[in-house]
């Protein structure tokens, strides 16, 4: 694997710090949401992925949210807002006021993102299995216009049960959309329990690899591995990265526990969680 641009230790530590801040902020946001609760499990598993994408990889600029040269990010696993909003905040797209309005009456910052290009939010996700097709559309348009822009999509592993994703995969490979990068937050759990038990699917990577392209597997909490794969050489098909993650990562009572797909933190749980992530 040719390493285009290996990260030095300073940049790596910056990303790790960014992820730490995002994780802490995510837990604060979830607690501040009170009885509305939050999608903690799937938000926390996504933190490093979003940190690397927004911190290093994607060509996006909060001072030019409408730029015609920007990369497009679509959060198909749209309940991952705790990682998404915190990344947008880190990058300067949204304000502290926006963060503090999370799940409050009248807020635009609710449990699923609402499209707002000025704030860097490209798509109103929420219904699973929708955004990959839209990503294919963007990628096709970029190919037609012969520009260098890229489309990044994050899917959940449970989300891959939606058949509409596979319609999008067929098209992505048929049209050789090598400007499309798909990251799967492979945390092994979904709302009702283990992905493998509910769906019978144990190897998403093998299924996708059968389309003929390259599928890479990384530790989804290792910023360096994520970065290296995301920046690796482009082939002639979409780049698919299976990021093995832990649902609820960073908080011991949430890790690998499907009940925290969506939950409400008690005061004690909040304090315990903050202790763990503020090490």
- Summarize as ranges the residues that interact with another protein (CB under 8 A): 115, 122-124, 126-127, 129-142, 144-145, 163-164, 167-168, 170-171, 174-175
Smallest separation, CB 167 to another protein (Å): 4
For the chain, give me the number of helices (H) and strands (E)? 11, 7
Question: Smallest Cα–Cα separation from 224: which of 29, 21, 48, 43?
Answer: 48
Q: Is-contact 183 243, C-beta < 8 A?
A: yes
| Gap between the Cα atoms of 36 and 175, Å rounded | 42
Determine the Cα angle at 152 with ends 149 and 155, to 5°. 165
Q: Is-contact 46 118, C-beta < 8 A?
A: no
175 versus 270: smaller Cβ distance to another protein: 175
Q: How many other β-carbons are positioned within 10 Å of the β-carbon of residue 85? A: 25
Strands 193-194 and 189-190: antiparallel
88 versus 168: smaller Cβ distance to another protein: 168
- Give the rounded distance of the alpha carbon of 42 from its chain centre: 9
**Residue 83, both tokens:** 């990682």
| Gap between the Cα atoms of 95 and 86, Å rounded | 10
| Gap between the Cα atoms of 117 and 222, Å rounded | 30
Smallest separation, CB 170 to another protein (Å): 6
Smallest separation, CB 133 to another protein (Å): 2
174 versus 194: smaller Cβ distance to another protein: 174
In the chain, what's the furthest Cα-to-Cα distance?
A: 54
Smallest separation, CB 151 to another protein (Å): 8
98 versus 167: smaller Cβ distance to another protein: 167
135 versus 184: smaller Cβ distance to another protein: 135
29 versus 134: smaller Cβ distance to another protein: 134
Smallest separation, CB 40 to another protein (Å): 25
171 versus 234: smaller Cβ distance to another protein: 171
Smallest separation, CB 116 to another protein (Å): 11
Smallest separation, CB 138 to another protein (Å): 5
Q: Which helix (H) or strand (E) holds 115?
A: none
């Amino acid at each position: 694997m040719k390493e285009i641009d290996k990260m030095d230790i300073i940049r790596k530590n910056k990303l790790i710090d960014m992820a730490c801040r995002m994780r802490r902020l995510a837990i604060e946001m979830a607690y501040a949401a009170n009885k509305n609760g939050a999608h903690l499990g799937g938000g926390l598993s996504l933190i490093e992925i979003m940190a690397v994408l927004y911190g290093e990889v994607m060509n996006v600029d909060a001072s030019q949210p409408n730029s015609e040269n920007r990369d497009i990010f679509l959060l198909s696993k749209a309940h991952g807002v705790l990682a998404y909003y915190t990344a947008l905040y880190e990058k300067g797209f949204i304000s502290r006021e926006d963060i503090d309005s999370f799940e409050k009456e009248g807020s635009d910052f609710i449990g699923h993102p609402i499209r707002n290009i000025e704030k860097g939010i490209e798509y109103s996700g929420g219904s699973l299995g929708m955004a990959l097709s839209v990503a294919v559309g963007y990628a096709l348009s970029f190919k037609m216009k012969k520009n260098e822009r890229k489309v990044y999509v994050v899917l959940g592993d449970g989300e891959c049960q939606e058949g509409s994703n596979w319609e999008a995969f067929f098209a992505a490979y048929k049209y050789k959309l090598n400007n499309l990068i798909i990251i799967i937050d492979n945390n092994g759990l979904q709302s009702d329990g283990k992905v493998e038990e509910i769906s019978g699917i144990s190897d998403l990577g093998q299924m996708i690899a059968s389309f003929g392209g390259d599928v890479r597997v990384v530790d989804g909490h290792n910023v360096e591995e994520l970065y290296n794969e995301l920046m690796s050489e482009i082939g002639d098909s979409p780049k698919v990265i299976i990021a093995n993650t832990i649902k609820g990562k960073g908080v011991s009572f949430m890790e690998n526990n499907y009940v925290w797909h969506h939950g409400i933190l008690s005061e004690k749980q909040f304090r315990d969680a903050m202790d763990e992530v503020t090490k």
